[in-house]
Structure 1
Amino acid sequence: MFVPLHDGVPLRFMRAPYVTYALICACFGVYLGLLAWRPPSGEVGIMAGFGMIPSVLFGTAQLPADLLQVPAWLTLFSNILLHASFAHLIGNMLFLWVFGDNVEDAMGHLRFLLFFFLCGLAGSLAHALMNPESEQPLIGASGAISGVIASYLMLYPQVRIWGLAFKWIPLHIPAMYALGAWILFQFISAFADPQGNVGWWAHLGGLGAGAALTPIFIHRGVRLFGRPVTG
């Protein structure tokens, strides 16, 4: 629907968004590492063993011993670094590359790292709660990145973003329109296709967590919607 390419917002509080870079490298590293690692169970074993399966998380189903990689509770986090395909990975990393640096700048390195994984956790839990009987693994950083998107929108609603609509139409529009449309699409999709192959509820869980946590995690004096936060 919309692919961000560039925003041009300068950093104010740090030299470089090292955590954003590290998260991108980690996601690429995990993807390439799993391509090189060939367990006996193959790709299915990787996705089932490290992805978050709601029915396994809640104990109503069990993985076969040869697919079990980590405890079920740990998949709430391990799934965040997994991606099903190179296109899936690139799409998520583009959003993180464009928006993560400024959110990290507004929060600081360590708080941004915690923020990212808390949003990912919220996304995983939202998906599990809305699909408790599902046996399909949830994978991808989309929930965590949705939290980053919510935070960016609260910080820079008027910034004009370069991006591509429908994969090929160039646009240069304010974040409030581009990201607002993206968020609306997530809500519509979650209710129209609740059992689909995309974890829409993970996106919504991440968005909600990002919106709730941003005022708590940002530096004092950083503006939200044009107003300084003094709490």
Structure 2
Amino acid sequence: MFPIRDHNPSERTPYVTLALIAINVVIFLSYFPILGDARASTQVFLTWGLVPAELSSGGGVANIFTSMFLHGGIMHLLGNMLFLWVFGDNLEDELGHGTFLGFYLLSGMGAGLAQVISAPNSPIPMVGASGAIAGVLGGYLLLYPKARVDVLFIIVIIFKIIPIPAGIVLTVWFAMQVFSGAATPAGSGGVAYWAHAGGFLAGLVMILPLWLKLGGPGFWRRTHGHPDHPEARYRRVSTRIPKVRRRR
């Protein structure tokens, strides 16, 4: 399932969200030509990615941050940028541009540390913005649990868009990361599930003081679990493809 948009576009231009997307895309394009060369691309990821074994031995501290701007392929990049675009604008609107940037980077740092704790001796580099973006998801969940998100479900050849409360979408997503992380042997490579879970929890914890300052449960009652501005209304677009009735 893929969230494709929420019903709560921000009231201000999300400059930091747009800048983060642009930076990730530009950096990816800078090394895209060598992705077909296993040796060259591996060297890039080892040099700039987060290697748990290296960090555990006291090195590669800066790579906690540089790894957030690397991606292993086009779909990896597009999936992460889609999540950032859908959920980042409202959080940036609430926090302000500078605070949101700090929140994003700290979430990515928490995600990286969670992955290192899960497999401290792993020599496999971790790359991707998903840990930082997971922090955005955690913050969004606490502030706007009832905001509606249009989710695209793909089941074999069936495509269906269903509006679902963000609380359900993000809770299911988090549960999937924890379950998958528990089922995956530590240090085996593949998806960094514990980085996702760690980033999500980091974002949830960091946004908690703001939620309490806004009134906690009273904030939810006042805003009905949505961003504090009118919800967007999307019209369904009917297809021009004629319907063919089935003959009996």
Q: Does the alignment pair 1:34 with 2:54?
A: no
CA contact (8 A) 1:194 1:200 kept: no
Q: In structure 2, the residue corresponding to 1:165 is in which secondary structure?
A: strand
Q: Matched residue pairs, number?
A: 215
Q: Does the alignment pair 1:212 with 2:200?
A: no
Q: How does 1:50-65 map to 2 (within 5 A)?
A: 50-59=48-57
Alpha-carbon separation, structure 1, partners of 2:210 and 2:121: 34
Q: In the alignment, what sits opposite 2:2?
A: 3
User: 1:46-73, CA deviations, whole angstroms, 9 ceiling, x for partnerless residues?
Assistant: 111111011111229xxxxxxxxxx611
| Pair 10,218 (structure 1): closer, same or farther in 2 beyond 3 Å | farther
Question: Which residue type is aligned with residue 201 of structure 2?
Answer: G
User: 1:76-120, CA deviations, whole angstroms, 9 ceiling, x for partnerless residues?
Assistant: 110000000000000000000000000101100000000000000
CA contact (8 A) 2:34 2:41 kept: no
TM-score computed with the length of structure 1 as normaliser: 0.85
Q: In the alignment, what sits opposite 1:19?
A: 16
Alpha-carbon separation, structure 2, partners of 1:81 and 1:219: 32
TM-score computed with the length of structure 2 as normaliser: 0.80
Q: In structure 2, the residue corresponding to 1:144 is in which secondary structure?
A: helix
Q: Does the alignment pair 1:94 with 2:82?
A: yes
Alpha-carbon separation, structure 2, partners of 1:94 and 1:76: 22
Q: In the alignment, what sits opposite 1:66?
A: none
User: 1:179-205, CA deviations, whole angstroms, 9 ceiling, x for partnerless residues?
Assistant: 111111111111011434110110111
Q: In the alignment, what sits opposite 1:152?
A: 140
| Pair 219,17 (structure 1): closer, same or farther in 2 beyond 3 Å | farther
1:207 deviation in Å?
A: 0.8
Q: Does the alignment pair 1:47 with 2:45?
A: yes
1:34 deviation in Å?
A: 1.7
Q: In structure 1, the residue corresponding to 2:191 is in which secondary structure?
A: coil
Give the counterpart of 1:199 among 188, 192, 199: 192
The CA RMSD over aligned residues, in Å, is 2.5
Q: In structure 2, the residue corresponding to 1:226 is in which secondary structure?
A: helix
Alpha-carbon separation, structure 2, partners of 1:219 and 1:18: 26
**Computing the radius of gyration over CA atoms, which structure comes out larger, 1 or 2?**
2
Q: Which runs of 5+ in 1 are unaligned?
A: 61-70
Q: In the alignment, what sits opposite 1:226?
A: 220
Q: Which runs of 5+ in 2 are unaligned?
A: 223-248
Q: In structure 1, the residue corresponding to 2:50 is in which secondary structure?
A: coil
Q: In the alignment, what sits opposite 2:238?
A: none
